[in-house]
Amino acid sequence: MEKFEFYNPVRVVFGPGEVKRVGPEAKALGKAALLVSYKEQGPLQDLLARIERILSSEGVKAIPFYGVSANPTIQQVEEGVRRAKAEGAELVIGVGGGSAMDTAKAIAAGVLYKQPLWNMIVSRHDQAVAVSPSEALPIILIPTLPATSSEMNAGAVISNEKTLEKSYVFANPLYARVSILDPELTLTLPAYQTGCGAADAVSHVMELYLNGVDDTPLQDRLMEGIILTIMECMEKLKKNPKDLSARTNLMWAATVAWNGWTQPGCASGVPMHLIAHVLSARYNTTHGASLAIVMPAFMRRFWKTRPQRYMQFAERIFAMNTKGQKPEKLAPQVIQKFEDWLKGLGVQTRLPQVGIKADTVDSLTDEIARVSFGPDGKLGARVPATKEDVREILKLAL
């Protein structure tokens, strides 16, 4: 295990019905709140109207900014910043999945940011181009999709429509002051969104599990527990999508997957995310689906670099008998079992299923190398990936 420092100041209010707390929590932070959510509100329309009423009852002015899309863009952040400044917003409330919460974070930082907003995004990995925000308006987050852990981490993922890039910012000012996790808000989620969210949450754990350092037994068991909990919850939700207990446990598991608790001492990169971001930027693929496509292909390319980790995954996650088994036989089997589980979520696991054809592999490889490769000319991973590795991962995902 590596040396580490750990910091997470987010106060979590958790439980069915707790969205009612947004009024008093907002009142403690300011008199005018920019309320950030989607252009296409769908089932969230009633929730947003309810939140507006709750804020009003506490004397907090709600400033609606319903301009977010899936794979949110820096242009949407810029529009939100203009609205926040014009209306005198003193705090920002993000309501929705990772896209809405990440946009809310970026807007909160952008109001006080002195440079062009894209400058805060880590849009290249071979050189230092980003200038992290040093301050932000107070943030409240209300997730409605268990997936990204954005409600309890300091990250935001944003795309650029002009350059067709998708990347991230991680900075302490982006931590929410308070996050209100109300699992009742997830009861109306469609099966596909629930499945994509589960794939996304598991991917956060898998990045560490596959690419972290050795000798992290506690972190291993935390990660395995998160994966098993998500799997168990999803089986229950297939039978009964209104199972509030399963929704509750899924929400907390997804939050814990990337809130920092599993990461100390692991020293891991996030190569699967860096590949998936390019897919989303170029083809507007759903984030969870992009990761469900990349994960099995990445595993097939790299299992030989860490065979015992795959044996452990087989035994502890899928209860496979590993005694006397050879990794070259068992590893492909457990990878297939994992892909089959992802398929069972109703999520795409192959590039052609999202309209990406074989003749794009070379151009996608070039783009991943340009955006995501480090100064060493490789993609950061347990064993740094070369351009040929990435090309083969994409081919394995066809």
pLDDT at 146 over 90: yes
Q: Which CATH number fits domain 191-396: 2.60.40.10, 1.20.1090.10, 1.10.3330.10, 3.40.50.1820?
A: 1.20.1090.10
CB neighbourhood size of 96 (10 A):
27
Q: What is the pLDDT of residues 225-270, one digit of tens each?
A: 999 999 999 999 999 999 999 999 999 999 999 999 999 998 788 9
At residue 63, what is the residue type? Answer: I
Determine contact, residues 72/284, Cβ cutoff 8 Å. Answer: no
From CA 278, how far away is CA 360, in angstroms rounded?
Answer: 12
From CA 159, how far away is CA 73, in angstroms rounded?
Answer: 4
> Can you read off the two tokens belonging to residue 216?
């992290």
Q: What's the whole-number mean pLDDT along residues 320-338?
A: 95
At residue 233, what is the residue type? Answer: C
Domains of the chain, by residue range, sit at 11-186, 191-396
pLDDT at 41 over 90: no
Q: What's the whole-number mean pLDDT along residues 13-19?
A: 98
**In whole angstroms, how far apart are CA 200 and each of 74, 91, 128, 145?**
22, 28, 27, 11
Place of tokens 């994960």: 295
**In whole angstroms, how far apart are CA 16 and each of 48, 189, 248?**
17, 15, 8
From CA 152, how far away is CA 146, in angstroms rounded?
Answer: 12
Phi, then psi, of 61 in degrees rounded to 5: -75, 125
pLDDT at 330 over 90: yes
Q: What's the whole-number mean pLDDT along residues 371-387?
A: 94
Q: What is the pLDDT of residues 61-74, one digit of tens each?
A: 999 999 999 889 99
CATH 3.40.50.1970 describes domain 11-186 = yes
Residue 158: which pLDDT band, with cuts at 50, 70 and 90? very high
CB proximity list for 52: less than 8 A, separation 6 or greater: 35, 62, 64
Q: What's residue 243's pLDDT?
A: 98
**In whole angstroms, how far apart are CA 143 and each of 152, 172, 174, 185?**
10, 19, 15, 8
Q: What's the whole-number mean pLDDT along residues 31-41?
A: 95
Phi, then psi, of 141 in degrees rounded to 5: -120, 135
From CA 64, how far away is CA 45, in angstroms rounded?
Answer: 12
Which has more pLDDT, 124 or 240? 240
Residue ranges of alpha helices (H) inside 190-270 are: 191-211, 217-239, 244-257
Residue 143: enclosing H or E segment and its boundaries?
Answer: strand 139-143
Phi, then psi, of 284 in degrees rounded to 5: 55, 35
Q: Is 275 left (phi over 0), alpha (psi -120 to 50) or beta?
A: alpha
> Can you read off the two tokens belonging to residue 358?
């074989």
Q: What is the pLDDT of residues 202-217, one digit of tens each?
A: 999 999 999 999 999 9
Q: Same topology for domains 11-186 and 191-396, yes or no?
A: no
pLDDT at 124 over 90: no
CA-closest candidate to residue 299, choices 382, 222, 194? 382
